[in-house]
Amino acid sequence: MDFKKYVTDKLKELTGLDEQVISSSLETPPDEKMGDLAFPCFVLAKVMRKAPPIIASELAQKFENDEIIDKAQAAGGYLNFFFNRAKYASELISAINRAPEAWGKSDIGEGKTVLVEYSSPNIAKPFHIGHLFSTAVGNSLARIYKHLGYNVQSLNHLGDWGTQFGKLICAYKRWGDKEVIEKDPINELLKIYVKFHEEAADNPSLEDEAREYFKRLEDGDEETTSLWSYFREVSLKEFQRVYDMLGVKFDSYNGEAFYSDKMDEVVDILRKKGLLVESEGAQVVDLSDKNMPPCIILKSDGATIYATRDIAAALYRHRTYNFDKNIYVVGNPQALHFKQIFEVMRRADWEWSEGCTHVGFGLVKLPGKNMSTRHGDVVFLEDVLNESIEKTREIIEKNSPDMEDKDEKAKKIGIGAILYTFLKNSRDKDIIFSWDSMLDFEGESAPYCQYGYARGKSILRRAADIDYSDADMSKAVSDDEYTLIKQLNSFSSAVLDAADKNEPFYINRYVTGLTKAFNKFYNTCPIMKSDVDLETKKARLALVDAVCRVIKTALYLLGIETVESM
């Protein structure tokens, strides 16, 4: 049962106030000792022509002998409610353990489609730490929206088109060695790309050659197209390794190239709407009244660009998915770009474009020299992930040399630690990577939450022969137990907040708090000790079970895996 709803209904009956007014004024008291819910009586002072403290104490009397509310207490102008803990606990725990997958779920997304575009690395370029930030946030958002019943499509808008491919093809034709490239594709492609720029500084005709290659590529020439596909394929293979490590999946890899033949229509539409003006030979949409630089749609040489491809992509997505939301998880440096294209779409009278949202994020600072890379200056993401796994492996070796499946666990913990770090604070904040805090098993970290989960699971394993399905939860309502139980209940609001603000950190904060409360409970409430009576044991086991299930689901929504023992 919904305890808040119960209080709301009863207050409605007693005061005649509107349900909406009551439920929106009900608060959680700042201190648990003040009860579970508080109703500020100030709203009633005018209509009832009484002072709020008097109203509060009069209302309090009406809750005497209530089955659901143990106590209603006037405190100044507030009316504080204390729930019947046993009832609350048994309703909640049985609801979780009966249908654990459903906990925190909702149907608010039913019949609605959300597109989450994230990761979107560039072909033949390193998958860098910013792309990882996008991947962590995007993957988590996709899981959160799914949990809320939305139809979610995960999109990877690969950077696989543009004049740089003319340069790369030119470089490959001159210095490319397929055998060498095969061994370490992105790194080798990057090398010849860099070489192109060095050589072109002395020999500008290379630039003309590159332009010619890109033109051929645009015209669908067979040889250049097959080279381009080759670069794309080997790059994707490398990206895929990272996605597999992270457990990330996409429904579409339609990158910029996919939209290259869909831009004429956009240019046409914008022209017909009278939005295009000429500026230094280019066709642009003037946005000066919005204090933005013009959005360039066609360059002076007729070539199309990034923004145009993005506009074509949005139109395609609208037609293909008829989305309610189209979310772009891309770093803050591109905020202006998205503002510009959204404004252009608005001016094109595409009403659906209101569903487009840029979800930005801050910068990532790596711990400089401490980050080993096999590639010199460029920090390759795979190296960062591997380093985290190795460091975790060392910690395990040192602290628990007898642990089983060390490699498997080091992987889940090491990768979890990195994902957690990206989702720890609001997205806009810059992140400084620190191995010490990331892998601090006692601090706010993924290993801390994973350890809490593993601890719970180990208790449940030890109690394998106790059937606690009929536990009497009135045996587990001491303060520490009750605090933990209430935490379980706030999972759904954490999920809703996370979706509402496109901020996975609400769930991160939630699961960290839940684990903290669990540890406190673990330290104060013995479970398997011989002097604990069976009924108390059962109630505590049921609670541990529910906590484990919720930690697991919450971590899953962050993209983080759990391990059964640590």
Give the catalytic positions in this structure.
Answer: 125, 128, 131
280: left (phi over 0), alpha (psi -120 to 50) or beta: left
Minimum Å distance from CB 122 to ligand ARG? Answer: 5
Minimum Å distance from CB 560 to ligand ARG? Answer: 24
Cβ–Cβ < 8 Å for 549, 474 = no
Minimum Å distance from CB 359 to ligand ARG? Answer: 11
Task: List the one residue out of 361, 360, 346, 357 whose CA is nearest residue 323.
Answer: 357
Binding status of residue 330 toward ligand ARG by CB under 6 A: yes
Minimum Å distance from CB 179 to ligand ARG? Answer: 28
Minimum Å distance from CB 491 to ligand ARG? Answer: 31
**Amino acid at the residue 152:** V
Q: Using the minimum distance from each CB to ligand ARG, give the nearer residue, 233 or 408.
A: 233
Q: Using the minimum distance from each CB to ligand ARG, give the nearer residue, 117 or 481.
A: 117
Minimum Å distance from CB 436 to ligand ARG? Answer: 30
Hey, how many other C-beta atoms are within 10 angstroms of the C-beta on 184?
Answer: 15
- Between CA 471 and CA 481 the distance in angstroms is 14
Structure tokens at 101: 């997958």
- Between CA 543 and CA 468 the distance in angstroms is 10
Q: In 287-443, which ranges are continuous DSSP H helix?
A: 306-321, 335-347, 381-399, 406-422, 435-438
- Between CA 35 and CA 37 the distance in angstroms is 6
Each residue 182-221 as x (binds ligand ARG by CB under 6 A) or -, in order, gives ----------------------------------------
Structure tokens at 103: 């906990």
Binding status of residue 122 toward ligand ARG by CB under 6 A: yes
The stretch near ligand ARG (CB under 6 A) out of 87-95, 115-123, 184-192, 392-400 is: 115-123
- For 117-133, what is the HEC assignment? ECCCCECCCCCCHHHHH
Minimum Å distance from CB 159 to ligand ARG? Answer: 3
> Is 326 in a helix, a strand, or coil?
strand
Binding status of residue 235 toward ligand ARG by CB under 6 A: no
Using CB positions, name the residue nearest to ligand ARG. 159
- Between CA 279 and CA 257 the distance in angstroms is 26
Q: Using the minimum distance from each CB to ligand ARG, give the nearer residue, 136 or 439.
A: 136
Q: Using the minimum distance from each CB to ligand ARG, give the nearer residue, 311 or 413.
A: 311
Binding status of residue 157 toward ligand ARG by CB under 6 A: yes
- Residue 315 forms beta bridges with which residues? none
Q: Terminus-to-terminus CA distance in the chain, angstroms?
A: 36
The stretch near ligand ARG (CB under 6 A) out of 108-116, 117-125, 494-502, 547-555 is: 117-125
Q: Using the minimum distance from each CB to ligand ARG, give the nearer residue, 159 or 447.
A: 159
Cβ–Cβ < 8 Å for 380, 373 = yes
- Residue 328 forms beta bridges with which residues? 117, 358
Q: Which of 77, 159, 452, 456 binds ligand ARG (CB under 6 A)?
A: 159
Q: Which of 3, 78, 328, 506 binds ligand ARG (CB under 6 A)?
A: 328
Minimum Å distance from CB 355 to ligand ARG? Answer: 15
Each residue 392-431 as x (binds ligand ARG by CB under 6 A) or -, in order, gives ----------------------------------------
Binding status of residue 340 toward ligand ARG by CB under 6 A: no
Q: Using the minimum distance from each CB to ligand ARG, give the nearer residue, 188 or 310.
A: 310
Q: Using the minimum distance from each CB to ligand ARG, give the nearer residue, 84 or 156.
A: 156
Q: Using the minimum distance from each CB to ligand ARG, give the nearer residue, 35 or 159.
A: 159
The stretch near ligand ARG (CB under 6 A) out of 27-35, 70-78, 113-121, 241-249 is: 113-121
Size of the site for ligand ARG (CB under 6 A): 9
Per DSSP, the residues of 358-396 read: EE----EE--GGGS--TTTTS--HHHHHHHHHHHHHHHH
The stretch near ligand ARG (CB under 6 A) out of 20-28, 119-127, 383-391, 462-470 is: 119-127
The stretch near ligand ARG (CB under 6 A) out of 120-128, 281-289, 435-443, 448-456 is: 120-128
Binding status of residue 120 toward ligand ARG by CB under 6 A: yes
Minimum Å distance from CB 564 to ligand ARG? Answer: 37
Site for ligand ARG in 292-311 (CB under 6 A): 310
Minimum Å distance from CB 328 to ligand ARG? Answer: 5
Binding status of residue 153 toward ligand ARG by CB under 6 A: no
Strand 78-83 with 37-40, pairing: antiparallel
- Between CA 5 and CA 22 the distance in angstroms is 10
- Residue 80 forms beta bridges with which residues? 38, 73
Q: Using the minimum distance from each CB to ligand ARG, give the nearer residue, 63 or 328.
A: 328
- Between CA 473 and CA 545 the distance in angstroms is 13
Q: Is the dihedral of CA 42, 48, 53, 57 positive or negative?
A: negative
Task: List the one residue out of 545, 531, 404 whose CA is nearest residue 464.
Answer: 545
Contacts 24+ apart (CB under 8 A), 13-21: 14/59, 14/62, 15/44, 15/59, 17/43, 17/44
> Is 244 in a helix, a strand, or coil?
helix
Q: Using the minimum distance from each CB to ligand ARG, give the nearer residue, 138 or 447.
A: 138
Q: Interface with ligand ARG by CB under 6 A: which residues? A: 117, 120-122, 157, 159, 310, 328, 330
